[in-house]
């Protein structure tokens, strides 16, 4: 794979969790690949880059919800030698559960990143853009971890992206996940409000419970218990990085298949039962939407069922207990 210089037009980006508290100069260096640092600092000095319509200094730290205006620039972009294969095109199209004039809802498979970077040449958004070169406005609305499967929202136009980001800021998007946890609780429902702090250790992003961290709230409800495991629904009230995974760990019941925050002995046991991935799935999203966007006011619910192999493995674990 090679790279080429490509001129981008002016853009407005909404800052999400992944760039929260990052310095604006470092954010621009990462965003404007191939652009000399001297040019980037000149953009800042001349006010070509604006945050929330105002000038900022290079040391400014971005916050979730910030609107960053980027000027035109020549940036390095990955150039695929042969584009997508016919199978890759059909595979990405088959993940689409819903589509209208402004929105695409995808059921992302585990193991596929939502975007390229850090050694990953293609993610969901790159593949979809390559499969649909005529659609110039495709943008991720939110993100899922690479190993998390399930519902992912992609905006087809800038107006839809703004509406969906506004809904998220107002906490009007109801997000539900399914996870298999190792262990048992005495209660059917448990809420975890431990604050979470993000850091980097040896180049790897790690999130820990920390009193100086950001407020976070996850509501868990047990759907079924068997053997030494619980299938739970997790409702996100906040959207912190690795939130469900770290909150589950903090309760002493880590997610099965979690190689970063889980129990390796349990993970090995479950691999032998056929669960060879992180058992975390974004299964339901509810928010106001319609053909005309959020203005319709009608709540819509999108659901993506668990992969059949996960369901079968869990049922097998339960049936072994009953024998």
Domain positions in the chain are 2-78, 81-169, 174-322
Helix (H, G, I), strand (E, B) or coil at 219: strand
- What is the predicted pLDDT for the residue at 4? 58
- Say if CB 291 and CB 311 are below 8 A apart: no
> Who wins on pLDDT, 179 or 161?
179
pLDDT at 161 over 50: yes
Helix, strand, coil shares of the chain, percent, nearest 5, are 25, 35, 40
- Is residue 108 exposed (0-12), middle (13-18) or buried (19+ Cβ within 10 Å)? buried
Residue 142's nearest CA partner among 285, 23, 292 is 285
At the top level of CATH, the class of 174-322 is: alpha beta
2-78 and 174-322: same fold?
no
Tell me, which fold does domain 81-169 have in CATH? Answer: Pseudouridine synthase (3.30.2350)
- What is the predicted pLDDT for the residue at 101? 92
- What is the predicted pLDDT for the residue at 118? 56
DSSP single-letter state for residue 62: P
**Structure tokens, 54:** 């105002």
- Work out the angle at residue 246's Cα, subtended by the Cα atoms of residues 241 and 247, and round it to the nearest 5 degrees: 110
CA distance 145 to 287: 21
CA distance 189 to 186: 9
- What is the predicted pLDDT for the residue at 64? 83
Pairing mode of beta strands 280-288, 174-182: antiparallel
Tell me, which fold does domain 2-78 have in CATH? Answer: 3.10.290
Q: How many residues does the structure list for the chain?
A: 323
DSSP single-letter state for residue 295: G
pLDDT at 1 over 50: no
Task: Indicate the pLDDT class of residue 251, thresholds 50, 70 and 90.
Answer: very high
For the question of residue 145 being annotated catalytic, the response is yes
Alpha helices (H) along the chain? 24-31, 37-46, 86-94, 124-131, 158-169, 243-250, 264-272, 308-322
Lowest mean pLDDT across 52-61, 65-74, 171-180: 65-74
Q: Which of 25, 145, 147, 258 is catalytic?
A: 145
Average pLDDT over residues 160-164: 91
Per residue in 190-228, pLDDT (tens digit) is 999 999 998 877 667 899 999 999 999 999 999 999 879
- What is the predicted pLDDT for the residue at 115? 83
Task: Indicate the pLDDT class of residue 254, thresholds 50, 70 and 90.
Answer: very high
Residue 149's nearest CA partner among 9, 279, 285, 16 is 279
Q: How far is CA 93 from CA 21, 98, 104, 270, 281, in A?
A: 35, 11, 10, 31, 20
> Who wins on pLDDT, 270 or 15?
270
pLDDT at 117 over 70: no
Helix (H, G, I), strand (E, B) or coil at 117: strand
pLDDT at 188 over 70: yes
Per residue in 128-153, pLDDT (tens digit) is 999 998 988 899 999 999 999 999 99
Lowest mean pLDDT across 11-25, 138-152, 279-293: 11-25
- Say if CB 115 and CB 40 are below 8 A apart: no
């Amino acid at each position: 794979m090679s790279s080429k210089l490509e001129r981008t037009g002016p853009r407005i980006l909404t800052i999400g969790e992944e760039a929260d508290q990052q310095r604006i100069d470092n954010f621009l260096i990462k965003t404007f690949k191939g652009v000399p640092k001297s040019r980037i600092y000149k953009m800042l000095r001349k006010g070509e880059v604006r945050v929330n319509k105002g000038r900022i200094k290079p040391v400014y730290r971005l916050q979730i919800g910030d609107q960053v205006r980027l000027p035109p620039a020549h940036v390095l972009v990955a150039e695929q030698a042969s584009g997508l294969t016919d199978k890759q095109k059909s595979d990405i199209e088959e993940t689409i559960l819903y589509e209208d004039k402004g929105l695409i809802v995808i059921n992302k498979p585990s193991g596929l990143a939502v975007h390229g970077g850090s050694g990953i040449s293609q993610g969901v958004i790159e593949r979809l853009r390559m499969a649909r070169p005529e659609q110039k406005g495709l943008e991720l609305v939110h993100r899922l971890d690479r190993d998390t499967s399930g519902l992912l929202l992609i905006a087809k136009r800038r107006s839809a992206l703004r509406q969906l980001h506004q809904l998220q800021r107002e906490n009007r998007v109801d997000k539900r996940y399914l996870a298999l946890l190792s262990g048992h609780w005495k209660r059917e429902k448990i809420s975890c409000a431990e604050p979470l702090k993000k850091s980097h250790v040896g180049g790897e992003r790690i999130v820990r419970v920390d009193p100086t961290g950001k407020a976070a709230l996850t509501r868990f409800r047990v759907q079924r218990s068997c053997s030494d495991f619980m299938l739970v629904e997790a409702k996100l009230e906040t959207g912190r990085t690795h939130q469900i995974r770290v909150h589950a760990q903090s309760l002493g019941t880590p997610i099965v298949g979690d190689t970063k925050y889980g129990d390796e002995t349990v993970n090995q046991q479950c691999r032998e039962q056929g669960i060879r991935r992180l058992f975390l799935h974004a299964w339901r999203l509810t928010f106001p939407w319609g053909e005309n966007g959020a203005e319709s006011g009608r709540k819509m619910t999108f659901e993506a069922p668990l992969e059949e192999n996960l369901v079968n493995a869990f049922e097998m674990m339960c049936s072994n207990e009953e024998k």
